[in-house]
Amino acid sequence: MIIRRIAVAIDGSPHSLASIEAARDLALSMEAELRGIFVEDDNLFRLAALPCSSEIRPYSSEARPMEPSELEQAVRRQAREAEEALIRAIGQRVIRHSFTTCRGMVPEAVVAASTESDLLVLGRSGRSPTCRRRLGSTAEKALREGKRPLLLMRHGFRTAGPLLLLYDGSEGSRRALEAALALSAEGGLLNVLVLAGDPGESLHMEEALQAELSARGVEAEFHHLRPGDAKTLAQFIRMADSGLLVLSDEMHLEKEVVLELVSELDYPALLV
């Protein structure tokens, strides 16, 4: 997996902060350029322009008219905080980096701003309390319409931690394997979930992959499961509880099953 440019979407949410750290670590290890993206939400400005719009501020129960000028100042302050979060995360590390602010519909703007990057990193969900478990609208947009690879991060996880690779012998799962090896820490354990309908085929894939990984000095632990629907796969992955999931949407599994699995799991995922 050759990564020269990494884009990270920043909105100040806990998942977003985890994304900054992940993007920073990858940029450092891969000597890649890091670009922070903050989007000024067009929906907020359209709402503020309505004559009937109002807001209730913290520690107050009284509604007051929304002032577009105050909203503009607040959004600019959020943009400064997002850039400061990126700079803090980089610290004294030598990483080429930049920061971009754009305005538009957030999901579309993030996907558009990341088109020239080799990897997009963003949080599984943003600030909205309605999507704390499932994917937020920006992550869902990137998952279904964005380019690959895509890294969806979650607060409390790191890319250098345990990895779980979904492998079925397809070209897509081979790309996922290379990505997992690029991310795995030296001497770390790679967990591999082999998906095959036939037990003999599953064992054959394990033996072949074990020989390949041993030759490359990689220790692996294998698990076996018959391919199923997204909920069945998600249940097993939750039981394994091994951290970052690495997979492809060009495996023998139907693409919709893969996308539903990523959406269903409350785990970070790298989709290649």
Please report the pLDDT score of residue 261 as a whole number: 94
Whether 140 and 174 share a structural domain: no
pTM for this prediction = 0.89
Residue 54 has pLDDT above 90, yes or no: no
Whether 19 and 148 share a structural domain: yes
Whether 138 and 187 share a structural domain: no
Whether 147 and 217 share a structural domain: no
Residue 127 has pLDDT above 70, yes or no: no
Whether 202 and 97 share a structural domain: no
Rounded to an integer, what distance in angstroms lies between the CA atom of residue 178 and that of residue 272? Answer: 10
Which domain does 216 fall in, by range? 163-266
Q: How confident is the model at residue 131 (pLDDT cuts 50, 70, 90)?
A: very low
- Look at the chain and report how many structural domains it folds into: 2
Whether 214 and 184 share a structural domain: yes
Would you tell me how many other CB atoms lie within 10 Å of the CB of residue 206? 18
The tens digit of pLDDT for each residue in 158-199 reads 887 789 999 999 999 999 999 999 988 766 789 999 999 999
Domain CATH number, residue 139: 3.40.50.620
What is the arithmetic mean of pLDDT over 41-61?
70
Structure tokens at 98: 């930049």
Q: Does some domain include residue 61?
A: no
Q: Does some domain include residue 55?
A: no
Whether 31 and 77 share a structural domain: yes
Q: How confident is the model at residue 60 (pLDDT cuts 50, 70, 90)?
A: low
Whether 82 and 209 share a structural domain: no
How far apart, in Å, do the first and last CA atoms of the chain sit? 9
Q: Which of 161, 19, 145 shows the shortest CA–CA distance to 82?
A: 19
Please report the pLDDT score of residue 190 as a whole number: 93
Whether 169 and 203 share a structural domain: yes
DSSP 254: -
Q: Does some domain include residue 104?
A: yes
The tens digit of pLDDT for each residue in 16-29 reads 999 999 999 999 99
> 153, 176, 207: which is the final residue of a domain?
153
Q: Does some domain include residue 64?
A: no
Rounded to an integer, what distance in angstroms lies between the CA atom of residue 218 and that of residue 209? Answer: 11
Q: Does some domain include residue 63?
A: no
- Torsional class of 245: left (φ above 0), alpha (ψ -120 to 50), beta (otherwise): beta
Whether 12 and 110 share a structural domain: yes
Q: Does some domain include residue 187?
A: yes
The tens digit of pLDDT for each residue in 220-249 reads 999 999 998 999 999 999 988 888 999 999
> 153, 177, 212: which is the final residue of a domain?
153
Q: Does some domain include residue 46?
A: no
Rounded to an integer, what distance in angstroms lies between the CA atom of residue 98 and that of residue 38? Answer: 11
> 124, 153, 182: which is the final residue of a domain?
153
Whether 132 and 170 share a structural domain: no
Q: Does some domain include residue 117?
A: yes
Task: Give me the chain's average pLDDT, please.
Answer: 89
Rounded to an integer, what distance in angstroms lies between the CA atom of residue 38 and that of residue 11? Answer: 6
Whether 172 and 233 share a structural domain: yes
